Structure 1
Amino acid sequence: MIHRLLFLPLLLVLLFPLGSRAQVLRPTKLTTALSQPAARVGEELELLVNARIDDKWHLYATNFDPDLGPTVFSFTFAKSPAYELVGKPKSVGEQQHYDDVFKGNVTYFEKTGQIRQRIRVLQPGRLVIKAEAEYQSCTDVDGRCIPGDESLSFGPLEVTGTAASAATAPAAPTTGTTTTTIAPAVAPAIGPTATTPETPVAAAATDTADPATAVVTTTATPTVAATPPVVASVAAATSVESAGGLWGFAFAAFVFGLGALLTPCVFPLIPMTVSFFTSGQDTRSRGILKAAVYGLSIIVIYVLIGVVVAALLGEDGPNLIATHWLPNLIFFAVFVVFGLSFLGLFEITLPHGMVNKIDAQADKGGWGGVFFMALTLVLVSFSCTGPIVATILGLAARGERIAPVVGMLGFSLAFALPFTLFAIFPAWLKSLPRSGGWLNTVKVTLGFVELMLALKFLSMADLAYHWNLLSRDVYLVLWIALSGLLGLYLLGRFKLSHDSDLPHLSVGRLLMAVLAFSFMTYLVPGLFGAPLPLLAGYLPPQSRNDFTVATTAMPAIAARATAVAGCEEPRYGGFLELPHGLSGYFDLEQARQCAKAQNKPLFIDFTGHACVNCRKMEATVWSDPQVLRRLQNDFVVVALYVDDKTDLPANEVYTSTYDGKQKTTLGKKNADLQLTGFNVNAQPYYVLLDPTAPTDLAHVLTPPIAYEPDAEAFVRFLDAGLARYRQQVAAR
């Protein structure tokens, strides 16, 4: 009874969705400023856009792949002889994380943020610069996403000097009508927004100059002082989520460090090294102190490696590695080489001359000798630790810039800890297991793991450039084969070159074999359409399956839309998708005509390519057999993408009565339809409508709903609309 009373407030909210959800949200507020109120001809300055974002919302920034899915913050400037753009927009204070839905890194702001665009002024006078900004705000609370389209004005800017003085200024790119959107030099990347030659991606502006966009006058206008930027420093802009991610990564690196200790190159060195600090001329306390310095030196060496990698990556390094084919293929090759080395195909060692020189420095003794002893250990153990360190740095390079340092700190802490602890408590050495063939087993196991991780980097390059080399099924088959071979190896069904004889099977090997075969078994249903949510961040997107079974329990996540029987082929069906093999449309009027002919109600899905919860609804709610059956049989489905960039035909371009702006793309048309008809601008948003009725909130069959993860509640929503439609038909 108590739990029912607690559920009552939620039920009341669901019963009155019009008041709570039918509203225009504006979670992001933009203001503009100039980096300086005056400038001379030829001088450069920055246009500043300061963003204030509502609590629990985030605004996508500029510096990630625009084809990934979410809308990148971008400007559109028209031609002007008064100024020219210098470079691309730059985000300040953004955060970054890997998005499991879109399979790539995205950057975003929370609470505050700033975007800067550098320009060079070319003519004297009073300059006002206008631009159109396009952006997107989302919340993880209920999955809503809000597209933004705003006119911005910068200035006036007082420009002095003569045009001739600009002759000595450095050359800049030719300015035309420019959409300054950060985009890596790559081919179209992951995401469902690929276009065909018949449906080109919309250009952001026309090729003609707009006098209102850049105004140069000499009329007296009060000078506007630059507003201080509302922005936090990059170092201070780490959210709880990203901090948690770094802590988790540090722990994973710590576990890798423990694994490195159990390799043939390192484990035998533990008692040898510890005995050096617990014997000889030094007192016990001095020996313990030297052991502590030894361990600290190991940590310093590995952390320095992380610092160097972070410095080489630079600010845009993680984004480059996440989207560009070259670093992904390099990491793929490195992981394969190290994996084969662990399996015993060959051994990777550093030049003996370099190792001997470092070892000679260690022999000199003193505190410097302790440091060089640590460096010698790092170099001698490279053939075993190198692949593990490369794995950590490779995974770290796909995350935040500080991740390589954090990863090396976690790894080295685990790596150095035993040397220090065993020096303090030498009696513990007697409890260590003896060296033997089990060390090579650990090494081979790590080799299989390296090969499996290598596929992730090849997959990222394959998805970004549409090479179609590594589909989801091929990826899964390779993982299944590798995990199965690992299980057979652990059971002793075959030996590799460095393995010793296995007289009996230990409990440890048996348990590891169980884990390997369990993982393999978990992967198998993925070949037949299972989503495998635990591995969502590592597998290619689920777009099609080479293996099929005669069941609707595990439908495909996405499929090209087909026409409803007896109706015409869907417009935009060559590149837009409906989930689970549903037939339907992407144009409201076309869907309306089909619904009239079929005598069915309309199911309108206001969605977006960048809408995370839209994908979750499709994967978890639409896939429910009861929901899917109703969508297939009782409704005509139309998916209206509010963020699609496809150009509208010239005869369909119109000026909105809502904001007075021209709607030139399919996405802007659909977003305007949602605003004008239903006074809502968030997605997902589901509307049930009689095809003969006007498209507005007053004529819906049942109150629209937004994100609803309960499949039973969604079924009730569909049934209520269908029942109301049948009542209206019977009354005609």
Structure 2
Amino acid sequence: MKNLIVALVLFLSGISTAQQGVIDPVTWESNITKISDTEYDVILTGSIDEEWHVFSQFTSEDGSLPSVLSFEQSEGNYELLGTAKESETVKAYNDIFEVEETYFLKKVEFTQRIKVLNQDLKQLTINLEYQVCKEVCINKEEQFVINLDGSKATLDNVVLDEKSKTLSNSLLLDLKHKERLLSDSEELTSDGNLWKIFVLGFLGGLVALLTPCVFPMIPLTVSFFTKQSGNKAKGIRNAILYGAFIVIIYVALSIPFHFLDSVDPEILNTISTNIWLNVIFFVIFIFFAFSFFGYYELTLPNSWSNKMDSASSTGGLIGIFFMAVTLALVSFSCTGPILGSLLAGSLTSDGGAFQLTAGMTGFGVALALPFALFALFPNLLKSLPKSGGWLTTVKVLLGFVELALAFKFLSNADLVAHWGLLKREVFIGIWMLIFLLMALYFFGVIRFPHDGKKKFSFPKVSFAVLVVAFVIYLGTGLTKNSHLKLLAGFPPPTFYSLYEQESDCPLGLDCFKDFDEGIAFAKANNKPILLDFTGWACVNCRKMEENVWSDPKVYQILKDEYVLISLYIDDRKELPKEAQFRMKLNENHLKDIETIGDKWSTFQYLNFQTASQPFYVTMTSDLEILNEAKQYSGVDEYYEWLAKSLETKGN
């Protein structure tokens, strides 16, 4: 238990270290030893910083992540002889996972013997995925390129075939007046979105306070601090410390995503638009919803709560910290689904992991605020409503919201994969059914397992009437090309419809989904280009199309004056085999360009050094930049930006 306490305290104290950039605790080298004319030993050696450790390939599957070696392009070129051998490891019991783990200290070495089948083979490419831990755990990926003759190989001299070289070069543009992109750089790095995410996280925390898992603990915990601390001043101090620890705990949950963001700027966007991850979120949110409905209780292992509860009796700062950890664990059945929504909604490249940190901070502040506030003003406790059936009602309400959000994730997967399952009208119909059931619940027509006898009240009936009005509003979205401006971005786009559409572009505009085709058309017609980096699962992209592009003056200028090129960075449709290639992004990163989304996301990052959507660029067919890049904005601002770009072209 002592080790567990020390580890958790160090975890929080190590957050600042992690944020300062200490994300390479292992230094790697690669070597190859010739055993015979056809057999070689490939050796990967890592020097591990003090107090860090790397997990073995063979560590328990129920614990931390094992190391995984993968050898590229081995088929027909070489074969692996057995599994990779390892240097000396140590074993230790992990109290959290309750398993014995196997890992390396100070030095890690993997040795894989191979047999060469193709005598023309000159190089090997090996990928290593591993987890390295101290106070924090970092998931890392390394790529090694090894020459069979033993000479030094780096990605600087990786031999790409001619097709890869040609197609790689085709993604790089010779942009003219590129400095114009930066003239509004303050806008592009604005913290406005972070504040919005913070507010949303804060609202989520307020909702969590009104659940049966958290609300009854407020007066109990505040009373404990004010009565058990010896004097009022100490009680207030301890309650404020308790609140501060709650915030720290939730902020700490976002820290690992900063390491992911630093490894690959596109990785968070890749995660958020991954087809199967969105399907998993769909299943999880359905699971959360039925937990809120009372069919089962969603809890973390009792052993975790028991250990934290025991630790909280230590006293002093450590005891208060573990009281906060205990709150986080025992309230998980109510906060988990809300945090899941926050996690899934924040993981985009627009703002990176900082969006998640902002949301988690807001959530933690909202949870912590009542404990500090009521400790300062204990008389306010008398004004708190008593716990009762209304808490159950709030929980059921959240269940319906989780159910609706679940279908948003399924819709993301459907759009990205082009399955055609949840066309716009089908999605809206499902939402109408969900919210109609919610209204029937508040009218007392349907009940759930933990409901008592239904009592009608004016607030419940009023809320049910509002929900029915919302269902009617949703119904207006079932007509052809209708816009639900209040929900812009949530339903699929209007062109993803059961109705026959004249165009598969937003608002029926003419558009190109290939850059070269769009350039050729713009050159032939002497028109400027609006380059639209968008995504099938991009909510803000849909908001721009349905709320800004739909404005008559914006729509007209787009239709008459511009050639629209819409590039979908999350499109998982595979490119033809002849169009797939490998690209060297930098000296440490080779990327396989296999899908349409791979191609356009890489194209965006290489030429505009960003991975966020929506992202708009105005340019000529001769690749002259006309104006600063634009992201999410209002109607008037966007129209003026388009008009100014036309003036620049005219000059």
1:515-534 matches, cutoff 5 A: 515-528=466-479, 529-534=481-486
Q: 1:523 aligns to what SS in structure 2?
A: helix
The answer to whether 1:306 aligns with 2:249 is: no
**Letter matched to residue 559 of structure 1:** E
Q: Is structure 2 residue 364 aligned with structure 1 residue 412?
A: yes
Listed as ranges, the matches of 1:188-587 within 5 Å are 239=187, 242-280=190-228, 282-312=230-260, 315=264, 316-399=266-349, 400-507=352-459, 509-528=460-479, 529-546=481-498, 558-560=501-503, 580=508
TM-score (norm 1): 0.49
Aligned residue pairs total 416
Cα displacement (A) at 1:259? 0.5
Indicate if the aligned counterparts of 1:606 and 1:642 stay in contact, CA closer than 8 A. Answer: no
Percent identity over the alignment? Answer: 37
Residue 451 of structure 1: CA displacement? 1.7
Q: 1:492, 1:505 within 8 Å by CA — same for their partners in 2?
A: no
Distance 1:205 1:404, change over 3 A: closer
Distance in 1, Cα, partners of 2:165 & 2:278: 26
How far apart, CA to CA, are the structure 1 residues paired with 2:531 and 2:491? 19
Q: Give 3-state SS (helix, strand or coil) of 1:542's partner.
A: coil
8 A contact 1:310–1:404 mirrored in 2? no
Q: Is the 8 A contact 2:442 2:461 kept in 1?
A: yes
CA contact (8 A) 2:532 2:564 kept: no
CA change 1:644–1:351 in 2 (3 A) is closer
Relative distance call for 1:174 and 1:294 in structure 2 (3 A) is same
1:107-159: per-residue Cα shift (whole Å, max 9, x none)? xxxxxxxxxxx999x9xxxxxxxxxxxxxxxxxxxxxxxxxxxxxxxxxxxxx
1:175 equivalent in alignment to 2:160: yes
- Please point out which of 610, 615, 624 is paired with 2:532: 610
Aligned partner of 1:537: which letter? G
Distance 2:149 2:425 in 1: 62
Evaluate the alpha carbon distance shift between residue 243 and residue 344 of structure 1 in structure 2; reply closer, same or farther with a 3 A threshold: same
Q: For 1:407-428, what per-residue CA distance to the aligned partner results, in whole angstroms no more than 9, with x for missing partners?
A: 1110010101111111221111
Whole-Å Cα distance in 2 between the matches of residues 674 and 285 of structure 1?
A: 68
Structure 1 residue 480 displacement after superposition: 1.5
Letter in 2 for 1:484: L
Q: Which runs of 5+ in 1 are unaligned?
A: 1-83, 88-117, 123-163, 182-202, 207-229, 231-236, 548-555, 561-575, 592-601, 632-636, 648-672, 684-706, 714-732
C-alpha spacing 1:349/1:607, structure 2 compared with 1 (3 Å): same
Asked if 2 retains the 8 angstrom alpha-carbon contact of 1:257 and 1:412, the reply is: yes
- Local SS of the residue matching 1:402: helix
One-letter identity of the residue aligned with 1:257: G
**SS in structure 2 opposite 1:167?**
coil
Hey, what's the Cα distance between the residues in 2 that align with 1:604 and 1:479?
45
Give CA deviations for 1:460-486 in whole Å, capped at 9, x if unaligned.
222222122221111111111112221
Counterpart-to-counterpart distance in 2, 1:605 and 1:578: 19
CA distance in 1, matches of 2:624, 2:497: 36
Corresponding residue number in structure 1 for 2:606: none
- Map Cα deviations across residues 359-393 of structure 1 (whole Å, 9 max, x no partner): 11112333321111111111111111111112112
TM-superposed deviation, 1:644: 9.1
Query: What is the DSSP-based 3-state SS (H/G/I as helix, E as strand, rest coil) of the residue aligned with 2:212?
Result: coil
User: In 2, are the aligned partners of 1:608 and 1:644 still within 8 Å (CA)?
Assistant: no
Residues 241 and 525 (structure 1), Cα distance of their counterparts in 2 relative to 1, 3 Å cut: farther
Partner in structure 1 of residue 133 of structure 2: none
Letter in 2 for 1:286: K
CA–CA separation in structure 2 for the residues paired with 1:308 and 1:581 = 41
Task: Check whether the contact 1:527–1:545 (CA below 8 A) recurs between aligned residues.
Answer: no
Between the aligned partners of 2:434 and 2:229, the Cα distance in structure 1 is 52
Distance change >3 Å, CA 480–CA 167, structure 1 → 2 = same
C-alpha distance after superposition, 1:8-58 (max 9, x if no partner): xxxxxxxxxxxxxxxxxxxxxxxxxxxxxxxxxxxxxxxxxxxxxxxxxxx
Any idea what SS the aligned residue of 2:214 has?
A: coil
Task: Determine if contact 2:554/2:639 at 8 Å carries over to the other structure.
Answer: no
| 1:612-660 deviation digits (Å, cap 9, x = unpaired) | 9996797443999xx99xx9xxxxx99966789999xxxxxxxxxxxxx
Between the aligned partners of 2:414 and 2:325, the Cα distance in structure 1 is: 39
Q: How far apart, in 2, do the equivalents of 1:621 and 1:541 lie?
A: 18
Determine the C-alpha separation between the residues in 2 that align with 1:396 and 1:439: 27
Distance 2:225 2:506 in 1: 67
Q: What secondary structure does 1:559 align onto?
A: coil
Question: Which secondary structure does the structure 2 equivalent of 1:169 belong to?
Answer: coil
- Matching residue's letter, 1:177: E
Q: CA RMSD in A?
A: 4.9
- Structure 2 residue runs of 5 or longer lacking an equivalent are 1-122, 127-142, 171-178, 180-184, 535-540, 569-574, 577-618, 628-637, 644-651
Who wins on radius of gyration, i.e. which is larger? 1
Deviation at 1:436, TM superposition (A): 0.7
Where 1:610 maps in the other structure, the secondary structure is strand
Letter in 2 for 1:244: G
Check conservation: 2:493, 2:506, Cα contact below 8 A: no
2-structure distance, mates of 1:436, 1:351: 27
Matches within 5 A, 1:718-729: none
Counterpart-to-counterpart distance in 1, 2:320 and 2:144: 54
Q: Distance in 2 between matches of 1:615 and 1:366?
A: 55
Q: Which residue of 2 aligns with 1:691?
A: none
Q: 1:420 to 1:642 in 2, by over 3 A?
A: closer
| Paired residue type of 2:467 | A
Alignment of 1:666-677 (within 5 A): none
Instruction: Tell me the amino acid that sits aligned with residue 151 of structure 2.
Output: A
Quote the Cα distance in structure 1 between the aligned partners of 2:388 and 2:440.
20
SS in 1 for 2:193: helix
1:621 matched residue in structure 2: 552
Kept in 2, the 8 Å contact 1:324–1:461? The answer is: yes
| AA partner of residue 355 (structure 1) | S
Query: Once the 2 structures are TM-superposed, how far is the Cα of residue 496 of structure 1 from its aligned partner?
Result: 1.0
Specify the code of the residue in structure 2 equivalent to 1:358: M
Q: Distance in 2 between matches of 1:644 and 1:303?
A: 34
Query: Aligned pair in 2 of structure 1 residues 205, 492: CA closer, same or farther (>3 Å)?
Result: same
Q: Distance in 2 between matches of 1:681 and 1:287?
A: 61
